[in-house]
Amino acid sequence: MMTRALYLMLLLLVPATALAVIETYEFSDPELELRYRQLSLELRCPKCQNQNIADSNAPISQDLRKLLYQQLEAGADDEEILDYMVARYGEFVRYRPRYDGVTAVLWLAPVFLLLAGIVLARLTLRSRRKNALQPSGLSMADEEELRSLLDKTEKKS
């Protein structure tokens, strides 16, 4: 009895949204369904620009999913499908655009920024090490006074 109640309570945790499939297509081959999922994750909705077409229920995404389904069933390969989409919506429609003059910034920026970060980190570390080795430039008397002042403030607090 107890376990039954527990099971029922666990069922409440299943999010309803996960079951709200927008539409389902029957594929003739499970492999096609897999490719459908991959491609719909990789294609971007032109209307709601930060969602992929699997994620979006904008009418244009529904159309693109339908088109994707039809093309997969017609036996098109991934490259053909992506070319078809790019010819109509531009490289924008892919989350992994082809490398060319315009998208070079997109592809190379992470590498460039990482290298810049490494160089910056090395320079900062080196100058910090150098500073640590250098004498402070204070005379013996000044050092003494500084220490006593520091001691005083520490005692106060």
Partner 1 sequence: MAPRLKLFLPLLIFVVMSIFLFRGLSLDPQALPSALIDQPLPEFSLPVLGQERLIQRQDIVGEAALLNVWATWCVSCRVEHPYLVQIGARGIPIYGINYKDEDAAAQRWLTDLGDPYRANIVDREGTLGLDLGVYGAPETYLVDANGVIRYRHVGVVDERVWQTILQPLYQQLIVEGVPEGVDG
User: Which residue, 47 or 147, is less far from partner 1 as judged by CB?
Assistant: 47
Q: What is the spatial distance between Cα 146 and Cα 104, in angstroms, rounded to a whole number?
A: 56
23 residue type, one letter: E
In angstroms, the CA 58 to CA 22 distance is 11
Residues 70-89 that bind partner 1 (CB under 8 A): 86-89
- Selected from 15, 30, 59, 137, the binder of partner 1 by CB under 8 A is 59
> Cα(76)–Cα(86) distance, rounded to whole angstroms?
15
> CA triplet 47, 51, 52: central angle to 5 degrees?
100
Q: Using the rule CB under 8 A, is 136 a contact of partner 1?
A: no
**């924008």: which residue's tokens?**
92
Q: Does 25 bind partner 1 (CB under 8 A)?
A: no
Binding to partner 1 by residue 43, rule CB under 8 A?
Answer: no
The distance of closest approach from Cβ of residue 87 to partner 1 in the complex, given in angstroms and rounded to an integer, is 6
Residues that bind partner 1 (CB under 8 A): 46-47, 49, 59-60, 63, 67, 86-90, 92
